[in-house]
Structure 1
Amino acid sequence: MGPDTHLLIVDDDERIRGLLQKFLIRNGFLVSVAKDAAQARRVLAGLEFDLIVMDVMMPGEDGVSLTRDLRNKRLATPILLLTARGETANRIEGLEAGADDYLVKPFEPKELLLRINAILRRVPAVRPAEPVRQVIHLGPVRYDLDRGEMWRGEAPVRLTATEAQLMRVFAAQPGVPISRDRLAGEAGGADAAQERAVDVQITRLRRKIEDDPKSPRYLQTVRGEGYMLQPD
């Protein structure tokens, strides 16, 4: 990643904040820190970041609630949540709120680095001043690739954070089957439970896209290979 990649660490534990800041600076990042949600908001009001690393458990407003609020305010910066609890419910809550990934404490700093680089690779590094609108047509439904927005005619179609993430993956490779395993990984961790969760998300997406979700025309099942988006 470029030497001007700017990260924000939000964690109430001063020791962890300091360790992560030192480690990430050594690995070539610019790093700012905030000790709680209120300070993070002040920093975010004045600076743009490439990625936010945020602890879930903080006094006052927690990381999931701050993530949800930032997404509601249309902040597109990737967010990696640090959680001390490995329960699926917390992970799913964080992803539903709009986080891009999560890491369960305690973790090796090297794993944090791998996750950060993986997320930054998924995000286009160059932000063109006026992007060419990329729109995928699925019958009466339009999906705007740049904004991650879906429309049916003039009505917006609301997508959950996970549905939006899956749509981004499909729309990046239309007509290419994508395995459940990879979709589960993109949606936050490849295990059997997560693969079942992907099937549920696909069913929900089909209800939003297809005229007849039982025999899908656009979001197809490819036997033995996974799922595929087949636009018009």
Structure 2
Amino acid sequence: MANEKVLIVDDEASVRKLIKKSFARENILTFEATCGKEALEMLLTNSFDLIILDIMMKDMDGLEVLKKIRGLGMNIPILLLSGKAEDYDQILGLGIGADDYITKPFSPSILCARVKAHIRRNIDMMNSKKSTLVINQGPFEFNLNEYKLYKNGMEIILSTKETMLMKFFLENPNRIFSKEQLYQKVWGDTIIDDNSIMVYIRHLRMKTEDNPKIPKYIQTVWGIGYKFVIE
């Protein structure tokens, strides 16, 4: 990891200065907000890898800021700072969406280690989530969350059946399937309609191939069926 962006939200200049100085040695970029309102405004126009959020602030306490951030649907890691060490405050903070809780005074090195661990964990989680929600094959990308197909970054509009068929091809590249197998696996029916298969294959070729008359991806295997080819 390098050049991670951390937003420090604290109304004490000395605390912000201490954190900024220790993070600079680790090549962590720091940005400062002196109050909750300023932090929320910065979050609307900037992206950060983690937020260090003080609880006790004059304009808006950190717990209220935390609620608003989570209410906006932001899943950025948030580490709370507080002069209170009571279990109640920690449980409350963690319960409304904080990822960690550190009491003042704190060790800058320990704070830095926790910040790096949370950023690394969040990156790993996002990468894992992305890999499970997207099928990538050649120039094609299929978003399993939105059920949308993209080719070279451009969305291809498909009908429901075309989407199901293309998803099946992308999940099974370079394998030959008979018309019967496609109909059973995609349509879930044992009554085969050869004409329907041919129509949907033709539609998919028109939408996905550079030259539908000479298909590169959805190829006919004469006498057997079709194969979705990815080199």
TM-score range, shorter chain: 0.5 to 0.7
1:64-213 paired onto structure 2 within 5 Å? 64-125=63-124, 127=126, 132-133=132-133
Does the CA contact (< 8 Å) of 2:79 and 2:98 recur in 1? yes
Q: Is the 8 A contact 1:10 1:37 kept in 2?
A: yes
Q: How high is the TM-score relative to the length of structure 2? A: 0.54
Contact 1:52 1:80 in 2 (8 A): yes
One-letter identity of the residue aligned with 2:45:
G
Mapped partners of 1:8, 1:30: distance in 2: 9
Match of 1:12 in 2: 11
Q: Which residue of 2 aligns with 1:24?
A: 23
Kept in 1: contact 2:18–2:108 (CA 8 A): no
1:130, distance to aligned residue in structure 2 (A): 5.8
Deviation of 1:133 after TM superposition, in Å, equals: 3.0
1:183-204 deviation line (CA, Å, top 9, x unaligned): xxxxxxxxxxxxxxxxxxxxxx
Matched length: 134
State the Cα distance separating 1:131 from its structure 2 match.
5.1
Q: Deviations over 1:26-46 (max 9, x none)?
A: 211011010000110111111
How far residue 12 of structure 1 moved from its aligned partner, in angstroms, is 0.1
1:18 alignment partner AA: K
- 1:114 is displaced (CA, Å) by 1.6
Give, in whole Å, the separation in 2 of the partners of 1:101 and 1:109: 15
1:65–1:97 CA contact under 8 A, matched in 2:
no
**Larger Rg, first or second structure (1 or 2):** 2
Q: Unpaired runs of 5+ in structure 1?
A: 135-145, 147-232
Cα distance in 2 for partners of 1:98, 1:104 equals 17
Report if the CA contact (8 A) 2:52-2:80 is conserved.
yes
Q: In the TM superposition, what are the counterparts of 1:50-65 in structure 2 within 5 Å?
A: 50-65=49-64
Gap change, CA 1:90 and 1:126, over 3 Å in 2: closer
Deviation at residue 127 of structure 1 after TM alignment: 4.8
Q: Deviations over 1:62-96 (max 9, x none)?
A: 11111111111101100000010000110011011
8 A contact 1:36–1:58 mirrored in 2: yes
Answer yes or no: is the 8 Å Cα contact 1:8–1:49 preserved in 2.
yes
More deviation, 118-127/51-60:
118-127
The letter for the 1-side match of 2:63 is V
1:85 is matched by which residue type in structure 2? K
- The residue that corresponds to 2:186 in the other structure is none
Does the 8 Å contact 2:22/2:112 carry over to 1? no
The aligned amino acid for 1:92 is I
Residue aligning to 1:42: 41
AA partner of residue 133 (structure 2): R
Considering fraction of residues, name the structure with more helix: 2
3-state secondary structure, aligned to 2:123: coil
CA RMSD of aligned residues (A): 2.1
Q: Using the alignment, how far apart are the partners of 2:115 and 2:46 within structure 1?
A: 19
Give the Cα–Cα distance (whole angstroms) in 2 for the partners of residues 123 and 73 of structure 1. Answer: 18
SS class of match (2:81): strand
1:59 aligned counterpart, secondary structure? coil
The alignment's TM-score, normalised by the length of structure 1, stands at 0.54
